[in-house]
Amino acid sequence: MSEWFGRLSFGEFVVLIIVVFEIAIIVATLLLLLVMRRRAISREESHERARKEIADELANILDANDEGLHQRMLRLIRGLPADIARRLLTELAEYVPVESVGGLRRLYLESGLAEAARASALKRPWERLRVIRESRALNDPVDQLAELIKDDSPEVRLAAFEALCGLGRSEEALVALRLIAEDGRLSRLRVVEALAIAEPFPVEALRDLAKTDRAELREVIMGAFGRAHAREALDTLIEGVTDEDVEVRIQALRSLDEIGDPAALPACLSALNDEFWEVRSAAVRTCASLGGEGAAEAIAKLLDDDAEWVRHNGALALSRCGAQGLAALRAAAARGNSNASSALAEHRLSAEGS
């Protein structure tokens, strides 16, 4: 062996040392990956065992009358890494009505996981999103949503808003509505959906907020009234039809269509003369829904509108306005109006299909 090494030049010897060193690094890396993989598998197995044991006793845990069972489950949770324990309780709580999570919430608090959640909420935004998910599932066990709704991160604010609405605390969420309404159209859409399913729906608080000078906020409020079918806000929506902002007017018309109260028809008919074609296009649909045959004459005038979309949507709206609407379409088609002809053809196909 020494003779073999002796035949090596200095350069060859250096190359040999480098190769041996690289092989050692590769072997060490593979061993480390193997250990990490086994640890990950072990963590997942611990999670699944604990999940199965808690799930088997879930009904009794929710009942919260068996102290012995509670202590046994508490020891089980404390024996898990904090991350796994938090994930486990959150996943289980998401399958349970929020008013029934008391037993799981108690495990969360007494196992020290609340402290871990508070600590992680001070770190990165994605950690705060995780805390919001836990808070929503476990009915906000450490009252963090009230703080997270004021977070600097738009995504965190939005998630906290949705969580508060889901927990029946929508009025608390409204403190962030002005900021979230300015975070973009997608955020506004999510806010509208969150408010629409909130129980109780904060109709009076939203009516007060609708007096704001922020157009984005008024647009959100108009949308929420429609999605929630809030007839109590009909007067506010009717005012919205003449709002100074185009998007607010459009949203008010769409919401009136969703609510379907004929009392709003006069305001919607006036919107057929709006200077913006987008508003007129939204108005024809709402007028047809609310007025039926009574709106046909007014809608028919828009078959000759300057805007193609208004003519198109006006023709479709007339096809839903009963006999008078169809008569107006036939008269327009006879004059060579292509939108009227298309709407009549579509109406015939629909009638034959039904």
Q: What's the confidence (pLDDT) of residue 1? A: 54
pLDDT above 80 (res 353): no
| In contact, 164 and 196? CB cutoff 8 Å | no
Give dist(CA 338, CA 251) in Å, integer.
29
Give dist(CA 328, CA 334) in Å, integer.
10
Q: What's the confidence (pLDDT) of residue 56? A: 75
Per residue in 133-146, is it b (16+ CB within 10 Å) or e — as a string? bbbbbbbbbbebbe
Per the domain annotation, does 65 fall within a domain? yes
313-344 tens-digit pLDDT: 999 999 999 999 999 999 999 999 998 888 88
- Number of structural domains (the chain) is 1
Per the domain annotation, does 247 fall within a domain? no
Per the domain annotation, does 217 fall within a domain? no
Per the domain annotation, does 182 fall within a domain? no
Confidence of residue 352 (pLDDT cuts 50, 70, 90): low
Give dist(CA 282, CA 259) in Å, integer.
15
Domain with 97 in it: 53-123
273-299 tens-digit pLDDT: 999 999 999 999 999 999 999 999 999
Helix (H, G, I), strand (E, B) or coil at 144: coil
Per the domain annotation, does 72 fall within a domain? yes
| In contact, 191 and 181? CB cutoff 8 Å | yes
167-221 tens-digit pLDDT: 999 999 999 999 999 988 999 999 999 999 999 999 999 999 999 999 999 999 9
Per the domain annotation, does 90 fall within a domain? yes
129-166 tens-digit pLDDT: 999 999 999 999 888 999 999 999 999 999 999 999 99
Per the domain annotation, does 159 fall within a domain? no
Per the domain annotation, does 230 fall within a domain? no
- What residues contact residue 66 under an 8 Å CB cut-off, 6+ apart? 60
Q: What's the confidence (pLDDT) of residue 354? A: 52
Task: Give pTM, 2 decimals.
Answer: 0.80
Mean pLDDT value across residues 249-276: 96
* Region of poorest pLDDT, from 17-21, 59-63, 271-275, 341-345: 59-63
